[in-house]
Amino acid sequence: MASVLYRLAVPRCSLLRRLAVPRRETQRLEHHGLHRDGTRLVAGGSRSLAACSRADSRSQHTAAEVSVEVDLKRLEGQDEGIVEVLMCRHRARNALGHTFVSQMRELVSTLSHDSAARVVIFRSLVPGVFCAGADLKERALMDNSESDLFVHSLRSLMTQIAILPTPTIAAMDGVALGGGLELALACDLRTASTSAQMGLIETTRGLLPGAGGSQRLPRMVGVTLAKELIFTGRRVGGQAALELGLVNRAVEQNQSGDAAYKEALTLAREILPQAPFAVRMAKEAINRGVEVDIGSAMAIERLCYARVIPTRDRQEGMAAFIEKRPPRYTGE
């Protein structure tokens, strides 16, 4: 249900207890998104809030604490349909470590099949930081093969985000460096506070952007400018990013430090009333079309348009126009 809140108390994500249940039973219940007692699971794992409160009374199970570094929140009321991906690895400034990436992959996978989600906002609960990039402490412990495999998993995560059928917005209220900026680049739209700092700084660490940044940045700001930013490892502020075409909107930071998030929410509210299936098809037409020649792109547009024609939302849109009233879209 769109009203379910997949988040623990804020502003900090807390520790959850994962109950150990027989593997066969766990697989059966997870397939239906339920816990043993029928409560709904938190997206991204076999956890439920009800199970947490009863963990101590279930002596037959062993409990282990698992830190939540990425969480999910579904907005309610007039904002129903807006989903927030909350990054909350406070001690490591949302660095892209194994646990963080694993939890993010699970949540994104869940959203890819969620028809109730109409707009997804990626935001940070860590003050002054969107995502600081790679977890260099973890990376230092990896050999060459392990490092290559981990970067491959990062690249795969960014692709997962990029191909989400739902429009996505990255709200950068602070630092977004290296893999953190690559995460934002994988989103459809970006908002930033003017005080935010962002850049693909990998060359300053003897690396190159390896999670899609070397490909997405040129497509966004142009080849020549992308080369300059990547070769120099330069950081730019929110206003400069707006002028470069790196972000869609830049706003002055507020006292609560969430100006970019509030701007992202404003943008999401502009998308929310539109026909959801039409928006998804528009995203697919754009994303697929920019990768091919114009003739092939026109064929892609035709296919996407053909999928919209038989929908109830198209009929509702026409009826609302004729009757001079706001449309009531259902996504059907």
Using CA atoms, how far apart are residues 314 and 110, in angstroms rounded to an integer? 27
Which of these is catalytic: 134, 184, 186, 259?
Answer: 134
Which of these is catalytic: 182, 210, 260, 263?
Answer: 182
HSE at residue 59, side-chain half, CA atoms within 13 A, is: 0
- Tell me the sheet residues that pair with 121: 84, 169
Q: Is 83 helix (H, G, I), strand (E, B) or coil?
A: strand
Residues in the chain: 332
Q: How crowded is residue 224: how many other Cβ atoms within 10 Å of its Cβ? A: 9
Question: In the sheet that 119-124 helps form, which strands lie side by side, from edge to edge?
Answer: 70-74, 82-87, 119-124, 168-172, 189-193, 249-251
Q: How crowded is residue 332: how many other Cβ atoms within 10 Å of its Cβ? A: 12
Reported as type and span, the H/E element at residue 172 is strand 168-172
Q: How crowded is residue 128: how many other Cβ atoms within 10 Å of its Cβ? A: 15
Backbone angles phi, psi at 161, to 5 degrees: -65, -45
Which of these is catalytic: 97, 179, 212, 317?
Answer: 179
Residue 50 is among the residues annotated as catalytic for this protein = no
Contact 238, 193 (CB under 8 A): yes
Using CA atoms, how far apart are residues 202 and 326, in angstroms rounded to an integer? 48
Which of these is catalytic: 95, 202, 268, 317?
Answer: 202
* CA 102 to chain CA centroid, nearest Å: 13
Residue 179 is among the residues annotated as catalytic for this protein = yes
Using CA atoms, how far apart are residues 236 and 258, in angstroms rounded to an integer? 19
Q: Sign of the C-alpha dihedral, residues 297, 302, 307, 308?
A: positive
Catalytic residues: 134, 179, 182, 202
